[in-house]
Amino acid sequence: MFLRIEKGSAVPISRQLAAQIEALVSAGNLAPGAKLPSVRELARQLAVNQNTVLRVYERLAREGLLDMRQGQGTFVAARPKGAALKGRRAKLAEELRQIARQGMALGLSPDELHELLSEVLAEPATQNHIAQIAAQQVAENPS
Amino acid sequence: MSAAIEMHAVDKAFRRQRVLADMSLKVEQGQTFAFLGRNGAGKTTTIRMLLGLLQRDAGAISVLGIDPAEDPLAIRARTGYLAEDQEMYGWMRVDEIIRFVAPFYGTWDHDLALKYVREFELPLAQKIKTLSKGQTVRLGLVLALAHRPELVILDDPALGLDPVMRRQFNRDLITHLQGEGRTVFYSSHLLYEVEPVADVVAILDGGRVVRQTDTETLRRDVKQFVLSSSALAAVRDDLAMLDLQHANDEAAVTVENAGAATALLGREGLEHRVVDLNLDEIFAAYVSGTIDQASAAPPSLAAVGEEEG
């Protein structure tokens, strides 16, 4: 699991870590049931206070994204709960809102913004990613 | 749980110059406590008083339940100390200084010292004066930790280390100090540098601790609001202001009660913009914030002239 933190940013370290783990889970880079590094290990790897890492794991576990099993470690929840994903969706909507505002500020029309998004979606790298996620979903729900 | 360090209403002056005035702070056991202040704010003076190397003029100090003015040796036996820019005998080799320091401590663990030397990749047979800055700090840590102290006091340990070595130092601190449940009192002049490792930060300014809390609370409480001068006039009595700047008829005000300020501005229906601050900006607001008393009127010609000059 590759995470990075930005020191001194206006975003607290715990929020930076939580957002990156959420992103890895929702992008499928961390599959359901996958084991995360221990609190100690991750704290050492990132040179971050163990209490900070523990708080992040606990919060994501409360939100249903992770599963902390006594004596075994921390895992991605088998089926991340709806609430956690809904939170991601709300965050994404906020990011899109900001992008839309930036686009307007650059003088782009709504049509031109739609066109830009379509271009990005059509790029080979994005297409590959979409195909990967679809394959994973088929593997998880074979029916 | 009793506090590892407690200072209450401590005063200290050198001749006429007052360094600490009514200073209080509290460090719980097992905490990593970052002690922040600008250069010359009194950090090293505080540390020297905690170790009983300097006497206070007034107030009370307790370190591991002991008053350093009464029994400094009992404190030093249970404390590891890494001084700022620690001077060591440059002609000694690494193994020689370890053997030299060991007899000062009744609880010295030589195997532990050698284990740290291996983990820190220190060359035992090398002369101290030929070590790099990073290696010297690590050797200082070996000497500060090998007697298994309950409390470790580090005086600006990252000073003079490059970013790679700083990260490595933080990692050492997390593995060998936090991982083993020791209390760490860590002084620095860089808030963003201590953020990843600190449980609590205390900001020292004007001879006393102006704020003691964790960095997330600090970031939540200290924010900048940009609003019209007239809107500011309506609410300013309820703002805990750290810094205020005027430009044209707008005001940028940094407060330490952002939650209350947001609620108030919302209730009053006053238009405003909230700016999240990074830790450097928050630190600066506490230690060098100024309240600009300019009126709400548009800038005069003189003020414009000043800006250009």
* Residue ending a domain, choose from A33, A59, A76: A76
Substitution target from B195, B274, B277 for chain A, most A beta carbons within 10 A? B195
pLDDT of res. B278: 87
Least Cα separation, residue B185 to chain A (angstroms): 14
Q: Considering only residues 1 to 20 of chain A, which have any Cβ-Cβ distance to chain B shorter than 8 Å? A: 5, 7-14
- Containing domain of residue A95, as a range? 82-140
Which residues on chain B are in Cβ contact (under 8 Å) with A44? 171, 174-175
So what's the ipTM on this one? 0.75
Is residue A5, in this structure, part of any structural domain at all?
no
Question: Least CA distance to A8: which residue of chain B?
Answer: B192
pLDDT of res. A7: 82
A96 and A132 belong to one structural domain: yes
Question: Least CA distance to A9: which residue of chain B?
Answer: B278
A62 and A87 belong to one structural domain: no
pLDDT of res. A91: 78
Is residue A2, in this structure, part of any structural domain at all?
no
Judged by CB atoms closer than 8 Å, whether chains meet at A44 and B174 is answered as: yes
Residue of B174, B195, B216 lying closest to A8 (CB–CB): B195
A21 and A63 belong to one structural domain: yes
A19 and A72 belong to one structural domain: yes
> Under the phi-then-psi rule, with left for phi > 0, alpha for psi from -120 to 50, and beta for the rest, what region is B26?
beta
A24 and A70 belong to one structural domain: yes
Residues sharing a CB contact under 8 Å with residue B141, sequence separation 6 or more, in sequence order: B82, B116, B120, B157, B172, B176
A66 and A93 belong to one structural domain: no
A86 and A136 belong to one structural domain: yes
Is residue A4, in this structure, part of any structural domain at all?
no
Substitution target from A41, A51, A59, A98 for chain B, most B beta carbons within 10 A? A51
B179 touches chain A (CB under 8 A): yes
Domains and CATH numbers, chain B: 3-213 (3.40.50.300), 219-295 (3.30.70)
A90 and A114 belong to one structural domain: yes
Q: Considering only residues 261 to 280 of chain B, which have any Cβ-Cβ distance to chain A shorter than 8 Å? A: 276-280
Is residue A1, in this structure, part of any structural domain at all?
no
**C-alpha–C-alpha distance, residues A25 and A20, integer Å:** 9
Is residue A51, in this structure, part of any structural domain at all?
yes
**Residue ranges of chain A with pLDDT lower than 70?**
80-87, 136-143
pLDDT of res. B301: 47
A49 touches chain B (CB under 8 A): yes
Least Cα separation, residue B190 to chain A (angstroms): 10
**Residue ranges of chain B with pLDDT lower than 50?**
295-309
Is residue A23, in this structure, part of any structural domain at all?
yes
Chains A, B: CB contacts within 8 A come to 53
Cα–chain-centroid distance for residue A92? 10
* Cβ–Cβ < 8 Å for B92, B128: yes
Q: Positive or negative CA dihedral for B126, B127, B128, B132?
A: negative
State how many domains chain A has: 2
**B46-59 residues labelled b (16+ CB within 10 A) or e (exposed):** bbbbbbbebebeeb
Is residue A8, in this structure, part of any structural domain at all?
no
Q: What is the CATH number of the domain that holds A20?
A: 1.10.10.10
A69 and A87 belong to one structural domain: no
A86 and A62 belong to one structural domain: no
* Residue ending a domain, choose from A48, A76, A104: A76
Residue of B170, B178, B276 lying closest to A50 (CB–CB): B178
Which residues on chain B are in Cβ contact (under 8 Å) with A13? 195-196, 215
Q: What is the DSSP letter of A68?
A: E
**C-alpha–C-alpha distance, residues B7 and A117, integer Å:** 59
Residue of A8, A14, A47 lying closest to B171 (CB–CB): A47
Output the six-digit token pair for B227: 């609003």
Is residue A3, in this structure, part of any structural domain at all?
no
* Residue ending a domain, choose from A42, A57, A76: A76
Which residues on chain A are in Cβ contact (under 8 Å) with B170? 47
A26 and A64 belong to one structural domain: yes
B199 touches chain A (CB under 8 A): yes
A61 and A97 belong to one structural domain: no
| Residues across chain A | 143
pLDDT of res. B308: 40
